[in-house]
Amino acid sequence: MALVPPHGKERKLKPLLLEGDALKAELKKAEGLKKLAMTSMETCDCIMMGIGAFTPLDGFMSKADWQGVCDNMQLADGTFWPIPVTLSASQEDADAINVGDEITLINPEEGNEIIATMKVTEKYSIDKVHQCKTIYTTDDPEHPGVAKVMAQGPVNLAGPIKVLSESVFPEQFKGIYQTPAQSRAIFEEKGWSRVAAFQTRNPMHRSHEYLAKIAVEICDGIYIHQIIGKLKAGDIPADVRTECINLLVDNYFVKNTCVVGGYPMEMRYGGPREALLHAVFRQNYGCSDLIVGRDHAGVGDYYGPFDAQTIFDKVPEGALLTKPLKIDWTFWCNKCNGMASMKTCPHGKEDRVLLSGTVVRKTLSEGGDLNPNFSRPEVLEVLKKYYAGLEEKVEIKLHGAATGDAGK
């Protein structure tokens, strides 16, 4: 059996990253074009398109695409897509750019490096509140995804792009950063066809490990796929997370059942809609399944603990080939003396150690001790060392999805 094909009508990867002579020529041309600074999220989206992870997108969305994605989860041509991928500009920058212009997109966070060129096909404004309410179900500015939308410029620019750089990711995350072509080659070499992706922005605790091993039981292998774009304050940085994950895989997984990779996106904390986006680009990476557990891609108490599972039931048949591997709430049960879920454990809340990345971060950041069943000792050691070395502490709030109170 073959791997699941890439997303979109053509069923083939569509990387927008130039190479060789074409890259040299476009870089030379880019130097003389009007330049537009991107946000860190727009830069990451550019690179995701560059490596083919956002196949079949060929650039930043038009107003028709934006409207269709917000209202119906589909592009103007009918292709399934759950979250807008847009580029915004200040009024001043937008006024200096005409439809038909070619512009250079730069990353101000890395010395104004050139990331892409773009042919501007449309300038338009959006209803930001409408986007926030349809995508995030809220326009609360405390929601980090909402905050990003509200911080965008007043004008969106649409058009196809040519990507000229992957920025710092290949070097900074050597051995972790992967393109869809690379992950597909690894899976094919291993002879895998059914591959489950495990999405993470946290070091893996025992519940994560349990979910991954359930997937190993029913698939050919598991792809532990961690986000390496910018996270919110208080999240654990990628280098610490990577060390924890590698220790876990080396010591507690059967060899050749697990591949660890990273992708250059920035979290939107979009709960159900982001779970769908995670499935879309995992299809491009070659994954047939996406593990969707409790509060997938959530933040605070904006979503029910299993909203990210039920939203997959609304996807039209055939629109998305990567399917959710829906797994119930998992925890350590003292009476069962092991990991269990709501479906397998008959005991009460008082016997359960609910495992949450938020609880791990809050407890360790405050110098507290975790129940040893939260995570493997090797992982806890790395995390304790990291938090002990922090000079500035970020206050971390517990929410219902972390404590077991959500949805009760």
CATH number assigned to the domain comprising residue 228: 3.40.50.620
Residue 11 lies in a domain: no
Sign of CA dihedral 343, 344, 346, 350: negative
Alpha carbon distance 1, 192 (integer Å):
8
pLDDT tens digit string along 254-287? 999 999 999 999 999 999 999 999 999 999 999 9
Assess whether 41 and 158 both reside in one domain: yes
Assess whether 374 and 305 both reside in one domain: yes
Residue 358 has pLDDT above 90, yes or no: no
Question: Catalytic: 201?
Answer: yes
Question: Catalytic: 112?
Answer: no
Q: How far apart are the first and last CA of the chain?
A: 42
Residue 245 lies in a domain: yes
pLDDT score for 245 = 94
HSE at residue 392, side-chain half, CA atoms within 13 A, is 4
Q: Confirm if 88 and 134 have CB atoms less than 8 A apart.
A: no
Assess whether 160 and 203 both reside in one domain: no
pLDDT score for 361 = 72
Assess whether 193 and 117 both reside in one domain: no
pLDDT tens digit string along 26-82? 999 999 999 999 999 999 999 999 999 999 999 999 999 999 999 999 999 999 999
Residue 118 structural domain: 20-167
Report the share of the chain in percent with pLDDT over 70. Answer: 95
Residue 372 lies in a domain: yes
Assess whether 147 and 235 both reside in one domain: no
Assess whether 108 and 214 both reside in one domain: no
Alpha carbon distance 196, 16 (integer Å):
26
pLDDT tens digit string along 226-244? 998 876 667 788 888 889 9
Choice among 184, 201, 282, 352 that is catalytic: 201
SS3 call for 354 = strand
Assess whether 200 and 337 both reside in one domain: yes
Assess whether 157 and 186 both reside in one domain: no
Choice among 184, 202, 241, 284 that is catalytic: 202
Residue 341 Cα distances to 294, 295, 358, angstroms: 11, 15, 19
